[in-house]
A = this chain, B = another copy of it.
Amino acid sequence: MILVLEKGIGQHGEREVLVKLEALGVSGQLGRLYTDTVVVIESDVQTKPTHIFSQIDGVAKVLRIGQSYPKVLEQKESSVKLERVVIGGGAKPIIIAGPCSVEGLDQLLELADGVKSVGAQVLRGGAFKPRTSPYEFCGLQEAGLAYLKEASLETGLPVVSEVMSEKQIEAANDYVDIFQIGARNMYNYELLKEVGRTNKPVLLKRALSATIDEFLYAAEYVMLGGNNQVILCERGIRTFETKTRNTLDLSAVPILKSLTKLPVIVDPSHATGQRKLVRSMSRAAIACGADGLMLEVHQNPSKSISDAEQAISVEDLALINSDLEALYAALQKMDAQAKSTGDAKFKEAVEGQPIEGQLVLSGSAIS
């Protein structure tokens, strides 16, 4: 952290600032940065709020360096483990699949069997559906949860489903194995704190407008409650391109993996919004290191109640699963080879060396 002092503060003023810092238990070192006098603080102040520094007399500006999401950065466990499934930590990438919305019990049971038979390890299904228009189908609510539980018992697949409020967390608690926080609620900090107090894994989707830093701050909110089983999910950001529903930001995968050990999965269904693109983008996601895929699947994709344009069939899922197997095998070989040639330097990118917290200065992007 760098405190930029007010112009003309004088030696006396500078000392005063250092004294006040000491009172906060923080030691800083005076220096000059361009035309400013600054105090550089190297000790760990990540979790101290900015205003206790900015409010010190004589401090004109507070610059934080690096990220202030220590729990995300220092996460030790690199996988989320369910009874029969391991997500992340170098395990083979998993497939989470199922309908956008739970539409009925029969539909779900058939589909759960289907996706399991072609390799899916987790069942997804929306019971509470956030919809842009309040007049669209908003899910079967509690009934949907019960169907998910039944499908889980029948197939042995753990279940993930979205929750959007404290009440829904309570309602879903006995039925689902993983709570999903959707893209629309990534900035809903009260909700993040609530799921952070549960002991179930949380699948956290990146908001349409979220920077990677904001995404990781959201994870920090969950983890602060004591729950460190967070699965990060890239699902496309909002850009000007209209040929896809959103723009899948696959660079986020290696960046996230370089910053944290939390597992990172990709949802090509929502990112592209078109079933014809799902397979290609699934391949790309696996190739750049995703720990899993989240896919919308339906018996009769074009008749899905919600998001029909992006649903794929069980047959399509089988192909994607076999792609995943082939690519995983290729990746294993590639990494083994890299290890044998002692290529430590480049391997970092894949295995998780931090992307440096860059000092960015206005006007400095000379490209």
Contacts and interface: CB of A to CB of B under 8 A. Distances in A.
B2 A33 contact: yes
Interface string A179-217: 000001101111100000000000000011101111001
A253 interface: yes
A67 interface: yes
Contacts of A284: 250, 284-285, 287-288
Interface in A332-367: 333-334, 337-338, 343, 345-346, 348-350, 353, 355, 357-367
B255 A130 contact: no
A117 interface: no
A196 to B, nearest CB: 10
B346 A279 contact: yes
Interface in A10-63: 29, 31-35, 40, 42, 46-51, 54-55, 60-61, 63
Contacts of A365: 132, 211, 213
- Can you tell how many copies of this chain the complex includes? 4
A299 interface: no
A147 interface: no
Contact of A34 (B2, B303, B306): B2
Interface string A205-234: 001110111100100110010000000000
Contact of A209 (B40, B65, B207, B250): B207
A175 interface: no
A61 B167 CA distance: 35
A133 B220 contact: yes
A312 B40 CA distance: 28
29 contacts: A4-B359, A31-B32, A33-B40, A34-B40, A35-B42, A51-B137, A54-B303, A55-B305, A60-B302, A63-B364, A130-B187, A132-B213, A132-B365, A134-B217, A134-B221, A164-B188, A164-B189, A211-B241, A211-B365, A212-B243, A248-B249, A248-B250, A254-B276, A254-B281, A258-B276, A276-B349, A284-B285, A316-B345, A319-B346
Interface of A: 2, 4, 29, 31-35, 40, 42, 46-51, 54-55, 60-61, 63-69, 130-137, 164-168, 184-185, 187-191, 207-209, 211-214, 217, 220-221, 224, 237-245, 247-255, 258, 271-281, 283-289, 302-308, 312, 315-316, 319, 322-323, 326-327, 329-331, 333-334, 337-338, 343, 345-346, 348-350, 353, 355, 357-367
Which 6 pairs across A and B sit closest by C-beta, in order of nearness? A209-B209, A287-B287, A184-B187, A64-B364, A284-B288, A67-B363
